[in-house]
Every structure is written in C-alpha cells, then in structure tokens.
Structure 1
Amino acid sequence: MSEVYATVQFGREQDNTQHLGAIVAFLASRDLLDARLIAAHASAVARVKMQDLNGAEFLTTVLNGELRATHCSPRGQSLCRVLLQGDEAVALRSAVDQSKEEDWLLFDEVLPQMSAALRAVEAPPSGLKRLAAKVLQFPGPKR
C-alpha cells in the first residue's frame, strides 16, 4: 500500500479541495505525475494542461480523492512532501485560505510559491552552485 499524502475533505471547516486541487494541477502541468498514471489518463492530464479540467476535478475523478505517492514521479513525491508537510505546507495553505479566488485564478496566485518549492527541491547542493558559477564565469573586458 502506498503512502497517502492527502485526502480531499469537503465542508466549511476542513475543506481542502482548492488547496489540493492547486497542487494536483501543478503536478500535472509540470509532468510530475507517474508515467503510468499519465498513460492511463492521458486525456484528463491533457485537459488539466489546457486548463479545461481543474486540479480539484482531476483529484476527485481520476485520483479518487486521494493523492498518493504512487500517483507521482520521484520528483513529484519530493515536491509533495515539501508542499504538504512542514513550513512550506503551512504557508501554501495560508495563501489558499486567504485568497478569494478559486480554481485556475487561485492556481495563478500560488504558482510562484509552488515553483519556488520545486526549484528548492531540484536545486543542487550549494557547493555545486559555487563551482558551476566559477566554471561559467566569463572574462570581462581588459582593464
């Protein structure tokens, strides 16, 4: 049995459909879903990428209301751990709760935050950054 990252909850107090929907839409639009899931539901994934089907609808219809580790690629699993646990999860949930928008307008609002989390997950260790910066440094004009 695979790890369940989150389950959709309806209702005024614990409603998380927009929060999870934004995360699922981000996973689908950045090809962070499992290849088998994409192959099995290619039409639905394409509709999410074209913004014809929102993330909450994809979550409830294709993923049966649960976001599991098996639904994500390895990069997607790392991102889900960041976005659904810890400080980044609290910040994202707060941004979603404070927003008056829904679906794709909400997605556009929280996209920079999720993109920053993805960059942090994919970032090489700091020592490699410095080495790459030195290698890529071009000589300036002669003085």
Structure 2
Amino acid sequence: MFEISYRKMIDRGVLEPEEGDVIRGAIADPAAVNAGMDWYRANVPAFATIDPAVHAWPAENASTDVPTMLVRGSADRTFVSGMGKLARAHALKLIVRTIEGVGHWTPFEKPDEANALLGDFIGAPKAYQSRD
C-alpha cells in the first residue's frame, strides 16, 4: 500500500522521507488499515444488493444551493474533469478548481495552492492561507 499510494509523494518532494516513515509505520499495522476500510464496509452495501431506489445517495432529485467547491488535481483519477459537470446537477452553486500538476492529494502535493483556493472560497484573510 505504501509503495503504491505514498512513494511517489516522497519521490516528488511532497512528503519528507521522515513523514513517509511515519505513514509507513501507521499502515504497516493491518488493524489500522482494516479500521479505515471498515468505514467503507459499514457505509457501502454489497454491490449485489444495491437497489437504486433504496440506496441512491444523494437521491436522484436531491440538490443544494449552498456554495460548494470541488478542488481537484489535473492528474486526479478519482475526481475526473467530467465529475464537476455531473455534480452541478446537485450542487447549484458549485465551482470547480483544478490545481495543475497534481493528483488526488491536492492538500499534500500543493498545500499552499490548495489552502489559497479554500481561503479565497471562504473569504479568509490572505495571512491565514499559507502554511508558514
């Protein structure tokens, strides 16, 4: 799991090797990994039992007019670019921001850019948008 999910972040300088050691230690314990997976087990029904009329979330006609922002990386394979278009049917005040050159982990890979986008979105003063 470490090699697939976190090695690239160390290789690109997103994480320090010492941070990688902490993550490697945390996910080396099968119980710790299992606990994270249990969230999905508890919240996602078995695919063979999914009935869209019962399990659809959000409901097909659900929507929100609360301002919403989706931040994705240009190389993100989870929040692909078409997802924003689909989400607009449910999030009426959605804005999508893309950070170039990163994947799914925008806060790890480019924290200052991710924080600045979030800060601008919520109206935080610039002084609070930097890691330093």
Shorter chain as normaliser: what TM range?
under 0.3
- Identify the structure with the greater helix proportion: 1
Q: Which has the higher contact order (CA 8 A, sep 6+)?
A: 1
TM-score (norm 1): 0.24
- Identify the structure with the greater strand proportion: 2
